[in-house]
Chain A
Amino acid sequence: MLAAVLAVCTLAFERGYAGAQSLEAMLDGALVPSAAPALLGPITEAGRTGWACKPEQAAGADSWQNAELPRP
C-alpha cells in the first residue's frame, strides 16, 4: 500500500503534475481521518440516569475534555 502511494506521489511530482489528481492520490493513501474515539467506560447496575454516571455525562458533554475525546 505504502509502496503504491509512494510510487504514485513520486511519479506524479517528477512529471511536474502536482495537480488535483496527484494530491487526491496522496490524500486517499496517506491522509486518513482520525481514528474513532475510545469507548466510554462501563456503567453500574444503577443505570445511566443521575449525576453519578460518567459515561453518559461524557456522551452529552459539550467540551472535548469532558467528552473524553483523545488528547492530541
Chain B
Amino acid sequence: MPALILFAACGSFARAQMYPHATPAPRTTSVPELRALATGREVVERFHLGLAAEQRADWPSAAAEFERIISLNPGEPQNSTARYDLSIAYANMHRLDDAARELQSAISRDPGFLAAMANLIAVDLSRGDLRDARAVADRFVAAAPDSARALYERGLVALRSGDTVTARNDFGRFLQANPKYAYAHYNLGLAQTKSNDYASAEREFQLAVDLAPAYSRARFALGAVLLHEGKRAEARAAFAAVAGDAGTDPALRNLAVAMRDAIKSR
C-alpha cells in the first residue's frame, strides 16, 4: 500500500521513466522499402528534435532539423508542416524573406493551410511586403470567412495600404463577433479617421479606451480626433492622461505632453 501511494504521488516522474512505443519491425526485405521506412523514422525523429529546439528557443538547431526534413522530401502533410515549422525558426532568426518563402511553399503544397496563411501575413507585414500580404489575406478570408484572425489581419493590411473601405469592413465584421476587443475598435477608428468620419472614429476610440483604460495609443487617438472636432477641453484631458501615464511608450508620451501644453498655452 505505501508503495502504491508513493507511485501515485510521483506520477510525472514515473511517466518520465517510461520508454516510447517500440517501432514495429519492418516485414520486408526490399531495399527501397527499408530505405523508405528508415527515412520515415528519421523524419519523425527530426520533427521531435526540431520542436524541442523551438520550445527552448534554440532557433538555429530547430532550423537545421527542419531543413534536413525538407531535404528528405517527405510527402504530405509532413512536407508542408516542416516548411511551416522552419519558417517559425527563420522568423525568430530575423530571416523574414526565408520565412516567407517557406510559408509560400507550404501553402502551395497544402492550399487549405490556414495557420500558414496567418503566419505569412504576419511575416509579410514585418518585412513590409503589403502586396503579398494582401494576396494571402484575401485568400485567407475566402477560405475562412468567419475567422477572427483572417478578418483582423486583412484589416491591418488594408489599413497600412490605405484601403480604408476594406479596413472598415473587416474590422466592422470582426467586431460583430468580438465587440469587446479594444485593438479592433482602435484600428476601426483609424480607418474612419482616414475616411474623415470623425464622429464614428471618436466613438470607436472611446470604446477602445473604455475596454482597455491603459491603452494609451487609443487615448492619444481620441485626443487627436477631439481636437479636430474642436472639443479642446476634452482633447486636452485625453492628452494629459497619456502624458501622466508612466507606462506609456516614451515617444508617445512626449508627443502627448507637447499637445497638452499647446492646448493649455492658448
Contact = CB atoms under 8 A, between A and B. Distances in A.
Name the interface size band of chain B.
35 or more
B190 A2 contact: no
Contacts of A27: 190, 193-194, 224
B115 A55 contact: yes
Q: Is the interface of A mostly helix, strand, loop or mixed?
A: loop
Interface in A40-62: 40-49, 53, 55-56, 58-62
Nearest to A14: B262
Best-buried of A9, A45, A56, A61 by chain B (most CB within 10 Å): A45
A40 B115 contact: yes
Q: Is the interface of B mostly helix, strand, loop or mixed?
A: helix
Interface of B: 43-44, 47-48, 50-51, 54, 76-78, 80-81, 84-85, 88, 91, 110, 113-115, 117-119, 121-123, 125-126, 140, 144, 146-150, 152-153, 156, 159-160, 174, 177-178, 181-184, 186-187, 190, 193-194, 196, 211-212, 215, 217, 220-221, 224-225, 227-228, 230, 251-252, 254-255, 258-259, 262-263, 265-266
Given A19-B228, A31-B224, A59-B150, 11 more contacts: A13-B227, A30-B255, A34-B187, A37-B149, A39-B88, A39-B123, A42-B51, A47-B76, A58-B115, A64-B152, A67-B152
